[in-house]
Amino acid sequence: AQSVTQLDSQVPVFEEAPVELRCNYSSSVSVYLFWYVQYPNQGLQLLLKYLSGSTLVESINGFEAEFNKSQTSFHLRKPSVHISDTAEYFCAVSDQGGNKLVFGAGTILRVKS
C-alpha cells in the first residue's frame, strides 16, 4: 500500500516570490507520482506527473517537480508565483499497476499581493 504526506497544510507567500510545496511518499513498490490543483468550487486538475525518465517534470504554467527516489519525495516548486496560483494542491501516488490514486491531505497555497 502507498501513502502520501504533505508536510505543510498552508503556505502563505507574496506574489513573485518562489515557493516549494513538499510531498513525501511511502511505497514498497515502484510508483507514479502526480500533482493535482483544486481551485475554489472546482474539481481537481492534473498539474504534472512523473511516470519514468527524467526526474524533473514541468507544467505549462511554470511549476516543476522533481522525483527523488532516495528521499522518497516529489516536491513542487515555482520560481515566481502569481495571485492566480492561489489554490489547494494535492500530491498523489499510484503503484505502477495503475489502478487508483492515493492522495495527500493537500496544501493550500495563498499568494498575497
Question: Which residues would be at the binding site for other proteins (CB under 8 A)?
Answer: 4, 6, 9, 32, 36, 41-46, 49, 51, 90, 92, 94, 96-106
End-to-end alpha carbon distance in the chain: 41
Least spacing, CB of residue 49 vs other proteins, in Å: 7
Cβ proximity to other proteins: between 17 and 51 the closer is 51
Least spacing, CB of residue 76 vs other proteins, in Å: 14
DSSP character string of 32-47: EEEEEEE-TTS-EEEE
Collect all residues with Cβ–Cβ distance below 8 Å to 87 and sequence separation of at least 6: 37, 38, 39, 40, 108, 109
- The two counts, helices (H) then strands (E), for the chain are 0, 12
Least spacing, CB of residue 66 vs other proteins, in Å: 20
Cβ proximity to other proteins: between 19 and 47 the closer is 47
Least spacing, CB of residue 43 vs other proteins, in Å: 4
Cβ proximity to other proteins: between 78 and 90 the closer is 90
Cβ proximity to other proteins: between 45 and 80 the closer is 45
| Cα gap 113→107, rounded to integer Å | 19
